[in-house]
């Protein structure tokens, strides 16, 4: 394995905290830094992938974007762990519900993740379609959600290599073994948690449902911001514990 002496995609002099919240969108990272962190400083803007470090309730914390799809997310997660000694990661993002149990605006916490991707096999010869997220971190998220009086669904999700709404994803869903009850689909969580698991780092994913195969409801900009703020708050409160 060839690993460069310095990170290639993150500023080598970046001040990165041991705990990181990761949205996909760089502008959402900027939004979180400006609206939730104290004394946040821009630590990375290479390739437009913003990372900010500040404090949340006095605890040092970094929020960094990971981009779209497993290849992009995996690069940043690997470099955060390998070069900056990050110990805990919570991905936050949006997802599409594929179960009638998940409604528009609901929060979902991934207990485990199914994927048809070869990502884990390519990364470490892992043979299998399911990986688990961090049980201990999930317990913290669930307890924190209860304290915040936030409803959250907890179960299996799926990571796809393509953006679900742009394909007939029923083909993919129909190939998933029937014993797996999939709540939602997205594009990054499988890679993030697999890399974390391989490096003994705690990682999980919290998502907000923004579309559903069972609903034609579209969140208004105001509702979307409120729901996403709830997810952001839950992630921040959980990761500092």
Active site residues per annotation: 211
Which string of b and e fits 176-188 if b means at least 16 CB within 10 Å? beeeeebbbbbbb
* Distance between CA atoms of residues 146 and 53, nearest Å: 27
Which two structure tokens, joined as six digits, stand for 136?
């201990």
Q: DSSP of 180-211, one letter per residue? A: --EEEEESSHHHHHHHHHHTT-EEEEEEEEEE
- Reading phi first (left if > 0) and then psi (alpha if -120 to 50, else beta), residue 34 is in alpha
- Which SS3 state, helix, strand or coil, does residue 59 take? strand
């Amino acid at each position: 394995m060839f690993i460069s002496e310095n990170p290639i995609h993150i500023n080598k002099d970046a001040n990165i905290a041991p705990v990181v919240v990761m949205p996909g969108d760089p502008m959402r990272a900027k939004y979180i830094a400006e609206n939730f962190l104290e004394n946040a400083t821009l630590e990375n803007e290479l390739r437009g992938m913003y990372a900010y470090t500040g404090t949340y309730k006095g605890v040092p914390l970094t929020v960094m974007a990971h981009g779209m799809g497993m290849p992009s997310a995996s690069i940043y997660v690997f470099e955060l762990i390998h070069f900056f000694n990050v110990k805990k990661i919570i991905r936050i993002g949006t997802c599409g519900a594929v179960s009638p149990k998940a409604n528009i605006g609901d929060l979902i916490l991934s207990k485990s993740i199914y994927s048809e991707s070869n990502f884990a096999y390519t990364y470490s010869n892992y043979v299998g379609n399911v990986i688990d997220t961090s049980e201990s971190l999930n317990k913290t998220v669930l307890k924190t959600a209860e304290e915040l009086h936030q409803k959250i669904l907890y179960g299996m999700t799926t990571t796809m290599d393509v953006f679900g709404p742009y394909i007939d994803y029923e083909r993919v869903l129909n190939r998933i073994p029937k014993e797996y009850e999939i709540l939602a689909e997205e594009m990054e969580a499988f890679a993030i948690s697999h890399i974390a698991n391989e490096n003994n780092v705690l990682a999980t994913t919290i998502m907000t449902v923004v579309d559903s195969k069972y609903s034609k409801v579209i969140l208004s900009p105001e509702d979307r911001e409120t729901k996403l703020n709830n997810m952001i708050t839950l992630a921040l409160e959980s990761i500092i514990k």
